[in-house]
Structures are given as C-alpha cells and as structure tokens.
Amino acid sequence: MKSKIKLFNKAIFKSTLKLNMWVPILNFVLLFLMMLMPIMAQKMLLKYEDQDYLGAVKNIINLSNGEFNILVLLIIPVILGAVVTRFMQNKLQNIHIHSMPIEKKQIYTTNVIAGFILLIIPIIINIFGMLLILGPSVFSQCGNEIVSWTYIAFSLEFLIFALTIMVGTLIGSSLMQTIFTYILLVFPVGIYMLIQSTLKIFIIGYAFKESIVESSLAMKLSILPQTFMVESSYLREKNMTENLYLIYILVAIVITIISYFIYKARKVEKTGDIVVFRKLNPILKYGITFCFMIAIGMIVYAIFNESMTHMIVAYAVTSFVAYFLAEMLIRKSVRVLDSYKGYLVYVIVMLIIFAGIKMDITGFENRVPNIGDISKVSYTLISDYSNNVELTTQENKEAVLEIHNIILSEKAHSKMYSRGGSKNYFDIEYVLKNGRKMSRQYTLEYSSETQKEIETIEKVIFASEEYKKQAYEVFDKENINWIGITLYGEEIAHISKKEEIKELIDLMRKDTLLMIYEQRMKESQATEKIKFVNEILIEKHVEQNENYERSTSLYYNDDFKNTKEWLIEHNYYPKS
C-alpha cells in the first residue's frame, strides 16, 4: 500500500488564519493611509488629465518620501513571522500542537502557507484599490511603477518573513526572536563596517572607503538598509538590473526549506530557551561578546579624541560584561562566574589576533608594488584639493612610489604625530598590470621638513599635463551656456557670447597648463573664481519632478597672464 505524504492540515490552516487575520488587516490599513489615501487626495486636488497628477501618483507608488511605507515593509513581515511561529515559543501551544497525531511536516508547512497568504493578501487588495481609484487608463499608464512596487514589496517582505521564521526555529522566545531578526537584518553590513573600521585603526595604511560600502556584498545581504534604499529610484533600478530582488525571492524559498529541517530537529522541551540547540550557545556567547566589544570600543575611540588607550580599556570592560551577560541569558541564571575559563580563552585568542595585527606578520604595512608591475596609480596631492587623478606616465608613477616610501619611513613615529607639524591625508591606489588593486590610506602628522620633501616630489606630478587635465574642470567642460565672473562670491560680470566663452576657456586651459606649483600655493589663490553653467541648463529631476540648474566653479589664479589680459581687454576684470 502506497503511503501518502501529507503537507497540509485544514484545521491548523483555518485556525492560523483566524488567529492572525489582524496582521493583514493592519497591513492594509497602513497601506491605505500611506498609498491609497494620498492617491485619492491627488485626484481631488488636480485635474484628471493634468500631467502633474500622473507624476504625483507615480511618485507615491515609487515610494518617494515614503518613509512610513518602508517601515511597514520592515515591521509587518516580522510580526507575521513571529505570530505564525508562536506555537514554537509558547509552552502551552507547543505541547498542545505536538501532542496531536499530526506530523511536524504538516504543522510547519500549513503554518508557513497560511502566513504566506496573510502576507500577500494586503498587496493584492492594494493593487485592486489603485485600479478602482485611478481607473483603467491611468492605472495602465502607471503600470511599470505598480509592477515595480509589487515586485519589490513582495520580495522584501517575503525574505524578511522567511528570516523571521528561521530565527524562530532557532530561538525559544518570541521577544528574542524579534530582536535577533532585526539584528540579522543589519548584521552583515554592521559587522563589515565595524571590522573594517577597526582594522583601519590598528593597521597603518589600511584603506577603508565608506563610499564602497553601498555596492559591497555585505550591503546586499543586509535587508534593513536595502529596504530603506528603495526610496532612491537610482538604487531601485540598479538592484532591478542586478536581479537582486529575484535573488531575494529565491533565497527566501531556500531559507523556508532550511527552516523546516531546523524545526524538525528542534526538541519540544527546549521552548523558552534563548537558543534551542546547545551547540549554538558558544556561537551566540562569543558572537555577542565580540560584537559588543568592537562596537563600544569604536564609540569610545571616537568620543575620546581617537585615544587608543581608552579604546583598549573599553575592549576589556565591554568584553567582560558582554560575555557574562550572554552567559546569563543562555543559562537563565545569574550564577555564571564558574564560566570564567571560557572568557579567559576568548581573551587569549583576542590578544593573539591583535598582537599579530600589530606586529604586521603579513607584511601589509611595508608592502609596495614594483614599478614594473604598476599599470596606473590614483593619487591626490596634499597641496591641492582636487579629486583623485589616475597617473600612467613612468615619471608620475615613480614620484608616487617615492612619496609612498617617505610615508613608510615615518611609520616609526607612533601614529606619525609630530608636535607642531601639519596633518595630511593620503589616498593611494595602485592598479597592477594583472588587474589587482592595492589601496592605502594614511592620516599623517609630520615635521615641516618631511612635508617639504613630499612637496618637492609633488612638483613633478603637478607640472605634468596628465595631472592638470584630470584635476581641473576647465578641461572637461564643453557647451557652456554662460560664464559669471565672481569676486568674493558676488557676480560682477556676465559672459554669454559663444565666441567669447570659447576664447576665455581656451586661454584658461592654456594658463592652467603653464601654471607652476608655487603659483597654485599662493594665498591669493581663492580670491577670484570663474563660474560656469552647462548647456544642459534645465532638466527634470527624476524624483522631485522639479527644474534645477547645474553649475560649478572653475579654478582661476590671478597669475593666469593670458586670461587676465583677456578679461582686462574685454572690460570683465574687476576694477580696483
């Protein structure tokens, strides 16, 4: 006789829907207040045929200024995941449901299916609500935005719901399930930034650029910040192009399946424990200790003027407190001092790790590439305030390497502090011929003699055409609409003739190439600026639907002989 695999129980399904129907009702009410009601208000305020009405509706659907809508995406799935797994956390419900002649497979799949239905009902009703309010014509015109909202909302809510269920199978308390779920939603990028920032403090030259966090794998794995990012149309489109939301849906399915096997191995009597699997206790204990240690240490480091001493003291105190608090949570008892040996092991391991970092056993701090291996190098002059430029000539690459070696020779001077010296920032990135990158960042405070030595080498870089054409915007601005001559922030002349604009820009480019290092360093360098506006003067702002002008300032030095003569000749130069 063939055995039937039962995955669904009708009685449990009805009970779960009945008990938890308040969650989708709450979800729909919030969606109505934050999406449908604003759409109705726009319809009453603006004419039906007005283009502004369509734009306003699209902004609402696109979650522009939709902070509360984002909070719904973060809160509702966690609540729903917690209530449908409540039978695991509540002792009476746990004993009751597992005493019935029903397999765990049925219990789990039935509750998950019920929860999934409760999750998608408000989304579906919201779509029909938009159809009724907008009408078929406007609804079809907003089709892309509606599909995008549905896709993103579903993928994020489904993944958060699945993660909440998985945490619920590992945790024995609904409160702790909720707390650990939110920790998990931000953990990847949080721990990534903490470790990177800590390494930057302990390893001289370690490069950690906050700008790369947004595109890092850690950020993509962190659902909480990703949810807040849906306000940005650029990031939404980027994630759609990378199929990130599709990956979230697939990951949610995998997590749901894995959670079943965790639940299957879970013992009924463990309900009420912080962690229901004893083998996970050390991971939780040492994880809490380490995370609290480096987080509080980083805060103390920032508060006490980047004091390493205060940071180490914070490490010691925080790790001690966090370790024994974690032990209390796990044991559900204050009698935990007998576990001191575990703390001593943690301390020894941390001492070995930090000693290894401080001793630079990998040779990271002194590592510089060979000149023959460098394809190009990105560098910013300490005496200039332009962005990083990419240098490819042999002379410039050798100059940067020489500066790098001078920096390393200063390494012995503690944090390179020298009383009375000036503080400078260095950002160097080598791109090697094999495609690999080597990045270094330094914050140095050294003597005036060392600074002069570096500036002498920088003169070689500054004099190169390669550097100036990247560092000064006058070389990459075309189709200029008008130029304003400003003095102390006030416009004193306006140039709009195309031939005059071309003549002036050509002369400025010529003078910029002729400019020597000493001219750039003059105190008067900031007294005059020439302001320009691009040909693309007015354009639609994607998210705000407003017009705006693009403008910037071109560097001008009073030693620009050709430019100054032209300005005087055409009566554009300020009279004394």
CA distance 224 to 219: 9
- Spatial CA neighbour of 70 closest among 249, 231, 239: 231
Collapsing DSSP to helix, strand or coil, 568 comes out as helix
According to the model, what pLDDT value does residue 551 have? 67
Convert the pLDDT of each residue in 95-135 to its tens digit.
888 788 888 899 999 999 999 999 999 999 999 999 998 88
Whole-prediction pTM: 0.82
Predicted local confidence at residue 262, as pLDDT: 94
* Measured distance CA(154)–CA(122) in Å, rounded: 11
Going from N- to C-terminal start, the domains of the chain cover 10-185+221-270, 284-358, 371-471, 473-569
Query: Residue 256 in contact with residue 165, Cβ under 8 Å?
Result: yes
Note the pLDDT of residue 490.
Answer: 66
Strand, helix or coil for residue 443: strand
Q: How far apart are CA 418 and CA 235, in angstroms?
A: 44
Is the CB of residue 57 less than 8 Å from the CB of residue 134?
Answer: yes
Task: Give residue 527's pLDDT.
Answer: 44
* pLDDT tens per residue, range 265-308: 988 877 878 888 989 999 999 999 999 999 999 999 999 988 88
Tokens of 50: 């007005």
As given in the structure block, the two tokens for residue 254 are 């995998």
d(CA 166, CA 77) in angstroms, rounded, equals 13
* pLDDT, position 539: 34
> pLDDT tens string for the chain (576 positions)?
444 557 788 889 999 999 999 999 999 999 998 889 988 888 877 655 455 777 888 888 887 666 778 889 999 999 999 999 998 888 888 888 878 888 889 999 999 999 999 999 999 999 999 999 888 888 898 888 899 999 999 999 999 999 999 999 999 888 999 999 999 999 999 999 999 999 999 998 898 877 788 878 888 889 988 888 887 777 888 888 889 999 999 999 999 999 999 999 988 877 878 888 989 999 999 999 999 999 999 999 999 988 889 999 999 999 999 999 999 988 888 888 889 999 999 999 999 999 999 898 999 999 999 999 999 999 877 655 556 789 999 999 999 999 999 988 865 444 444 334 456 788 899 999 999 999 998 887 777 788 788 888 989 999 999 999 988 888 877 777 788 877 666 667 788 888 988 898 899 999 999 998 887 776 444 445 555 443 333 333 344 444 445 667 778 877 889 988 998 888 887 775
Both tokens of 426, joined, read: 């260095």
Taking only the tens place, the pLDDT of each residue in 418-474 is 334 456 788 899 999 999 999 998 887 777 788 788 888 989 999 999 999 988 888
The predicted pLDDT at position 286 comes to 96
**In whole angstroms, what is the distance from residue 70 CA to residue 217 CA?**
22
> In this predicted structure, what is the pLDDT of residue 234?
78
Which run of H or E residues covers position 112?
helix 104-141
- What does the pLDDT read at residue 122? 95
Map residue 444 onto helix, strand or coil. strand
pLDDT tens-digit readout, 239-252? 888 899 999 999 99
DSSP 35: I
144: number of Cβ within 10 Å: 12
Sign of CA dihedral 23, 27, 29, 30: positive
